[in-house]
Structure 1
Amino acid sequence: MTDRRRWTVLAVGTFAQAATCCFLYGGPMLVPALRADGASLFQAALVVSAPMVGLLLTLIAWGALADRRGERIVIVAGVGGAAVVLAVAAVVPGTIALGVLLALAGAAGASVNAASGRMVMGWFPPRERGLAMGTRQTAQPLGVAFAAIGLPPLARHVGVHAALWFPAVLCAVAAGLVLLLVVDPPRPARSPNSVPAASPYRGSPTLARVHLASSMLVVPQFAVASFTLVYLVRERHWDPIVAGRMIFGFQVAGAAGRIVAGVWSDRVRSRLRPMRQLAVASAALTALIAIGAATGLWFVVLGFGLAAVVTVADNGLAYTSVAELAGSEWSGRALGVQNTVQNVAAVLTAPVLAALIGASRYALGFAVVTVFPLIAIVLTPVRAERRFEELPGSPGQPVPAGDVAPVDAVQK
């Protein structure tokens, strides 16, 4: 594939992921409207967490299907299905129906999480994977940015349900673009007598530690994403639309931060050393938010803004590391596991933290959040990664696009 075409595939895959992230992770932008309709903070958090519940139930299955059938058909089916379900949610009344349909949309939209990451790993060589996966991971903050700029005014003027036409249209357009422009990466040739690759989880805890460390870093990410808008509106009395525009800017900066983190990892030939350093920064910023919330001083807004950039920057590093360590035959399933573990943390963060914060205990909530990146610092297996630096397919090693580190090599 020419350079221009593979970058087209990356751009379309990123847009498809951003379209699903608009409703998967942008749901907190509907919290003020849900509360205005009479829902408590806890009830609203349950509704906007519903898409991630559906996503959790299907991630590994979508990843296994991508390993067997290819990425393009999986993405088209899932994202197109999410568009249909969101369109139904836009016209069917009732809070319970809304939650159920959002969960179904999340189950369908999960397809792009595993398949688009696997596609990136197939088309880009290791020396460019940090940049490519960092670019692909801009989808999450860009999706939240779309939600921040579109959902609050729509929810105010046409209602929470009708506002879902916005992500429905985005998903429909994304599915069409993938169908027209995306090509599956070539798969390594296998001889008829070859033995299937062994599980990369067997004999080494490295992948499991990467999964756990990145799940710890999801907690500050989703704490900031879920509560920035409601904090600015209810505690600092900002207008929801103005606050949404501010968060849009935060999310765009966060998207740029993911690309920078990916390039950084390519330059230093490591995914996990930068990931651990970002965990240190996340702990410092959530502590700053806790102090600002306790004192009511202006720097709490600065803390939320910086944290919106830093807490999302590690995702691409973890995904790239997981795919490289898993190998080509297991990358879809490994990324499915990665997404599942991360989204378990994401689903739990909003309602648990909402219950802890209650009416206005934001200082206590973010003080607790600070503990999780501190745990990630300890869990991140940087020393284990160093054993793989000089193997073919490891960060910085020039191998043909579509190749990844052999599974049996990374297990030794």
Structure 2
Amino acid sequence: MLAVSTAAQAASAVVVHGPAFLIPVLHRREGLSLPLAGLVAAAPMIGVLLTLVVWGVVVDRRGERFALLTGLTGTTAAAAVAAAGDSPLWWFVWLLVAGAFAASTNAASGRVVVGWFPAHRRGTAMGIRQMAQPLGVGIAAVSLAVTADRAGVRAALAVPAVVAALALAATLAVVVDPPRPARSAAHAANPYAADRFLARVHLVSVLLVVPQFVVWTYALAWLVSDRGWSAGAAGTLVALAQLMGAAGRIAAGALSDRVGSRMRPLRWVAVTVVVTMLALGAAAGAGWPVAVVLLVVATGLTVADNGLAFTAVAERAGAYWSGRALGIQNTGQFLAAACVPPVAGVLVARRGYAVTFASAAVFAAAAVPLVPRDRDLSATRP
């Protein structure tokens, strides 16, 4: 269940993030302006944002297997249709549809993991599942860019269709809905009306997205422009740092299992992000070599909260509300992530990378007091 859920989410990441690697070919060979090429590449993300909560409702009402099979079928078909076209409008429309279907995996694959793993192992399992995004981005970077360069855009757009089809076949063969408690008034009650726990976790996650995407977006540019690295060397370091990020997600989940809390490790992560981003800003401003090490550390720490918050939301919302709650969680994060690159770019242009890195610590600091207290995991059920 864990392997296939991770594969399904990774396939979604290939569909959603893969077209970004086609921008150079769309610009040079297809003659699209950079803004238009960027719009085509953003189409799957737009589709995801429009449908995350809708798919959460589907998961709550029809189950995880139904949502995954329906979503991956639609993703495969839409991606294949996109690959058959040869105009920017065609690609935009069908990649948007593909993204809308791919959004199904966000809540459904997470719910499979939460439902099948007991509370004392759930954090580690969800940390492994959260590796899906960097895994999918890595697959897309290796496959789409090379295919587009050698065989053109249409051939490259067939890659997400193939990956989604493989995930669909694995889901059909393996995934079974986890058991749910019998529906009752308590289980069906709106968890947002009970207290502010979910709302606070959503807000904390949005705030912690800022340092994450500041580092993700501008690490390579800083290494090349300020540190004088070659693009190849900088890209290699960024790729290795992403592996550290994946390990950080697993470590954070395992720690939450060990201490019996999702929120305490989440608060610790937020505090360490504050310290690390301030140190990175100071070291980058002073030109110290340790700044490169701090960049790698920051890459790992700034993503460590994702699995903790995701698991906590699913656990607190319960079997009949967690689909919607996870949809709201991801929507807020996606919206914040979309705002970070342009806003941070303005700050980089005016004040430099060091100030930008240090400024991201402000958002993590704001998140620290907002992290709620949670109940003992022994009392937690999916």
What TM-score do you get using the length of structure 2 for normalisation? 0.86
Q: Which residue of 1 aligns with 2:5?
A: 13
Residue pairs, 1:93-108, within 5 angstroms: 93=86, 97-108=90-101
Deviation at 1:292, TM superposition (A): 5.1
1:181 partner letter: V
CA distance in 2, matches of 1:144, 1:340: 19
Q: 1:321 corresponds to which residue?
A: 312
CA RMSD of aligned residues (A): 3.1
Report the Cα offset of residue 284 of structure 1.
3.0
Q: What are the within-5 Å matches in structure 2 for residues 16-95 of structure 1?
A: 16-25=8-17, 29=21, 48-93=41-86
Query: Structure 2 residue aligned with 1:140, among 117, 133, 143?
Result: 133
CA distance in structure 1 between the partners assigned to 2:189 and 2:93 by the alignment = 38
Give the structure 2 partner of residue 334 of structure 1.
325
Across the two proteins, how many residue pairs are aligned to each other?
381
Aligned-pair CA distance for 1:175: 1.3
**Bigger mean CA offset, 115-124 vs 216-225:** 216-225
Q: Distance in 2 between matches of 1:160 and 1:288?
A: 42
Q: Tell me which residue corresponds to 1:280.
A: 271
Mapped to 1, the partners of 2:294 and 2:18 lie a distance apart of 20
Higher helix share: 2
Which of 334, 348, 365 in structure 1 is aligned with 2:356?
A: 365
In structure 1, the gaps of 5 or more residues are: 1-8, 394-402, 405-412
Which position in structure 1 is the counterpart of 2:251?
260
Whichever residue aligns with residue 221 of structure 1, its letter is Q
Flag the 1:236–1:141 CA change in 2: closer, same or farther, 3 A.
Answer: same
Residue 345 to residue 390, structure 1, CA distance change in 2 (3 Å): closer
Looking at structure 1, the residues matched to 283 and 89 of structure 2 have their Cα atoms a distance apart, in angstroms, of 36
Task: Please report how far the alpha carbon of residue 379 of structure 1 lies from its aligned counterpart in structure 2 after TM superposition.
Answer: 1.4
Q: Which sits farther off after the overlay, 32-41 or 99-108?
A: 32-41
Query: Structure 1 pair 282/390, CA: closer, same or farther in 2 (3 Å)?
Result: closer
Instruction: State the match for 1:209 in structure 2.
Output: 200
Gaps of 5+ in 2: none
- The normalised TM-score by structure 1 is 0.81
The corresponding residue for 1:172 is: 165
Give the 3 Å change call, closer, same or farther, for CA 276–155 of structure 1 in structure 2.
Answer: farther
SS at match of 1:186: coil
Residue aligning to 1:163 = 156
Residue type matched to 1:179 in 2?
L
User: Offset of 1:187 from its aligned partner?
Assistant: 2.1
Q: Answer with 134-143 or 295-304: which moved more.
A: 295-304
Q: Output the CA distance in 1 between the equivalents of 2:218 and 2:13.
A: 17
Contact kept in structure 2, 1:145 and 1:247, CA below 8 Å:
no
Check 1:39–1:250 CA distance in 2 against 1; reply closer, same or farther (3 A cut): farther
